Amino acid sequence: MSYVNTENYKSMIHNTNYVKWLIVFLLPLTTWAQQQPVLRLDTILQRIDNNNLMLQSYGLKADSYKHSGDAATAWMPPMIGLGTFMTPYPNQMIMESRDKGNLMLQIEQDIPNLSKLNAKRRYIASQGNVERANRDITLNAYKAQAKRLYFNWLIARQRVGVLEENEKIMVMMKKIEEVRYPYNQSQLGGVYRAESKILENQNMIRMQEGTIGKARGWLNSLMNVAGNQYFEIDTTYIPSFRAAMHYDTASLAELRMDVFKMNESIKSMQLNIESMKQQKKPDFKIRFDHMYPLDAMMPNAYSVMGMLSIPIAPWSSKMYKSDIKGMQLSIQGMQKERSAMLVETQGMLYGMQSEIESMQTRVSTMQEKIIPALQKAMDAYFANYQENKAQLPVVIDAWEALTMMQMNVLDEKLKLYEMIVDYEKELYR
């Protein structure tokens, strides 16, 4: 009796040590799995907005125009000169001492018209708003790209789930074939065919894992982090689509980034016209000359001169008048282009909305009617197969039909999600 208790005790100690080592081994894996971040789609989009380097470059360019505008208000530096004035050439006969000439100091300063400088500053600074509009357009494109990658990842995870679940059925059928074969209740070819389907299924899973890895790398690059940084997505996320009752060009003009950019470009061109109109105003210049006579008997002398430009002269005004007319025509052309763009977008959105609603109905029919029917057929064939009332090829055909339809549904869902992405991109582009 004591011998049995000792053996039981040793066995219990051995099992306890085994469990301890198993816990020590699995604990880091469990901790690692718990530490993997799960990023929601809105989190990824926010990180792209904050961290993407290309988007940051637009902000820097926009700020540069502000400083360039401030630089436009600077005056030209003064000019200073030193030389001779009315000095005779060497070896010339000098009749009087005063004919020896003068040593002259000259100072000259351009005095620009302040209204011209301010108008130019406003025009240059306005181009920063165009760069910010370019940033919004690029951000909209990056968001659409990120959504596509996210939805491809989401569908790939669902495909993996379908394939893994269906693989269990094929593995079970293979085991049944292996059990029946020694009793001549199945053929060896059935075992090999089931094995090939399992391997084919595993290859499809690897392909989906490649899609996930590609999406992860691209999303990391958009967020400006290392491409191999590991994270998971929220697999419970379901993209939604809300159909609008109507689209009017006024509301579209407020939503679309390219229209906003065009509006800012028109404003900038209008400021440029105002700057050109200021060219008809005169500029000023002042010059001071001081003469030191080379003859000590002659007094020091000076000259002060103020100068005024006359830009209204016909041969001068033609330049800015033609530029203003050309710019006004360009603005009119852009306004026509903006109107045409809004009308085209309005029709396109109605068409995309109709297509999305049709796809939603199609996917819903496949999910709620076709797949359940194929699943029932598969269950019936498999039940008959287990009772040895049906052959393996019949069950495999039903299994393939179900798997193919499940994959087709996921393909259609991905198309639907991408349609929603295209719709949102077109709405805010």
pLDDT digits (tens, 9 = 90+) for 205-255: 999 999 999 999 999 999 999 888 899 999 999 988 887 777 778 888 888
In this predicted structure, the answer to whether residue 24 has a pLDDT above a threshold of 50 is no
**The pLDDT value given to residue 9:** 41
**The pLDDT value given to residue 227:** 84
At 35, the pLDDT band (50, 70, 90 cuts) reads low
What separation in angstroms does the CA of 400 have from each of 137, 167, 368?
Answer: 45, 11, 19
Kindly report the CATH number assigned to the domain that includes residue 210: 1.20.1600.10
Q: Mean pLDDT, to the nearest integer, of 403-425?
A: 93
Q: Is residue 1 part of a domain?
A: no
35 vs 237, higher pLDDT:
237
In this predicted structure, the answer to whether residue 17 has a pLDDT above a threshold of 60 is no
The per-residue pLDDT of the chain, averaged, comes to: 85
At 3, the pLDDT band (50, 70, 90 cuts) reads very low
Q: Is residue 4 part of a domain?
A: no
| Number of domains present in the structure of the chain | 1
In this predicted structure, the answer to whether residue 1 has a pLDDT above a threshold of 60 is no
Q: Is residue 52 part of a domain?
A: yes
In which domain, by residue range, is 357 found?
13-428
* Tokens describing residue 208: 């989906």
pLDDT digits (tens, 9 = 90+) for 269-322: 998 888 888 888 888 999 999 998 888 778 888 899 988 888 777 777 777 788
Q: Is residue 113 part of a domain?
A: yes
Global pTM reads 0.80
Report percent pLDDT > 90 for the chain.
37
At 365, the pLDDT band (50, 70, 90 cuts) reads very high
Q: Is residue 364 part of a domain?
A: yes
Q: Is residue 223 part of a domain?
A: yes
318 vs 59, higher pLDDT:
59
Q: Is residue 381 part of a domain?
A: yes
**The pLDDT value given to residue 33:** 43
50 vs 278, higher pLDDT:
50
Q: Is residue 210 part of a domain?
A: yes
Beta bridge partners of 71: none
